[in-house]
Amino acid sequence: MSQEAREQAVLAAVRERRQQVNDAIDEDLPMAEPERLYEASRYILEAGGKRLRPAVLLLTAEALSDVDAADAEYRAFPDLNDGEVDVMSAAVSIEVIQSFTLIHDDIMDDDDLRRGVPAVHREYDTETAILAGDTLYSKAFEIMLQTGAPPERTLRAVQTLAETCTHICEGQALDIDFETRGDVVTDEYLDMVELKTAVLYAAAATLPALLLSADEETIEALYNYGVKVGQAFQIQDDVLDLTVPSEELGKQRGSDLAEHKKTIITLHAEEHGVDVEGLLDADDPEDVTDAEVEAAVQRLRDVGSIQYASDLAEDLVAEGKAHLDVLPENEARHRLEQIADYLIERGY
């Protein structure tokens, strides 16, 4: 299958499930009083988003139970012991957590825009944005408790959710720490990315296995799939920031570099003697020209840092996909493999 055909298949698979996920978000997180709080809590969820993590979760459920997408009733999904589980609630819970982290991250980074609309602390105010995130946080737990899975399995799911949230906070704290540290190495960066970004993919892939009563080997393999694919996703983001033209990227190309943000690429370059801080030297990251960015990127290319990052992302995807061996061979498993490939092949 060509790269383009694969991309089309992945986007179709995600799109196919998106409307159902959106409907489920409306059901599981309806408007309530106080209105302004719930409007703010739902604002980023309503602004869009591919629902990639819910798609991974639903596809994993389909793959595990060998159910065709056309027949899938996610609210009453066959578990591996003749029971039924509402895996859609778990998918909503994960998307709600993702949304909470976006709202709080945007406050922390003082970002103005998210999904093409003002960030919640800009559209409303910081107080409301903090509270909206806090509300989504507890709602995600309430929703995770609604799957109807056996109590022991539900407890494992809640435990996974809680640990995932702790890890995301730890990863975000490490990311902030890195900004003021001069001695960060690539391995530490990968650990940070695992905590900040990859564990939520890992949770998405693991939760159906937990809820549908898969065995421990399967649970562990799916966790590793999520971690590797999530790490690859973040590394590809770092590569794209340098290699995709600004107009396609929707923001200034090379902005990470101009803001002196540490990425796997800059860390590799530093380890190979490049003065990364001196590569792009502008008071305002918006002031750098494309020519300056191109010269900086060429320096990173010359020292092999971009190739290193691309190779690493490719290795991680290969590792991730290998873990899918625990799943039956079916279309959903094939889509999960394609999603892994897509994450490092996508243009932006």
Q: What are the residues binding its own copies (CB under 8 A)?
A: 33-34, 36-37, 104, 107-108, 126-128, 130-131, 133-135, 137-139, 141-142, 145, 151-152, 154-155, 158-159, 161-163, 165-166, 169-170, 172-174, 176-177
Q: How far is the CB of 111 from its own copies (least distance, A)?
A: 12
206-238 in b/e form (b: 16+ CB < 10 A) is: bbbbbbbbbeeebbebbbbbbbbbbbbbbbbbb
Contact 171, 194 (CB under 8 A): yes
Is 169 buried (19+), middle (13-18) or exposed (0-12) by CB count in 10 A? Answer: middle
Of 152 and 287, which has the nearer Cβ to its own copies?
Answer: 152
Of 164 and 305, which has the nearer Cβ to its own copies?
Answer: 164
Q: How far is the CB of 260 from its own copies (least distance, A)?
A: 17
Of 6 and 150, which has the nearer Cβ to its own copies?
Answer: 150
Of 27 and 325, which has the nearer Cβ to its own copies?
Answer: 27
Of 17 and 139, which has the nearer Cβ to its own copies?
Answer: 139
Of 167 and 253, which has the nearer Cβ to its own copies?
Answer: 167
Alpha helices in the chain, H assignment, sequence order: 3-28, 35-46, 52-65, 87-109, 120-123, 126-144, 151-179, 186-193, 199-211, 216-243, 246-249, 255-258, 264-271, 290-302, 305-322, 331-345
169-177 contacts, C-beta under 8 A, 24 or more apart: 170/195, 171/195, 171/196, 171/197, 171/199, 172/101, 172/105, 172/108, 172/196, 176/108
Please enumerate in sequence order all residues whose Cβ is within 8 A of that of 230, keeping only pairs 6 or more positions apart, or say none. 193, 194, 197, 198, 199, 200, 201, 202
Q: How far is the CB of 86 from its own copies (least distance, A)?
A: 15
Three-class SS of residue 147?
coil
Q: Which two tokens stand for residue 135?
A: 């509300």
Q: How far is the CB of 243 from its own copies (least distance, A)?
A: 29
Q: How far is the CB of 66 from its own copies (least distance, A)?
A: 28
Q: How far is the CB of 339 from its own copies (least distance, A)?
A: 27
Of 2 and 81, which has the nearer Cβ to its own copies?
Answer: 81
Q: Which two tokens stand for residue 217?
A: 């080997």
Q: How far is the CB of 147 from its own copies (least distance, A)?
A: 11
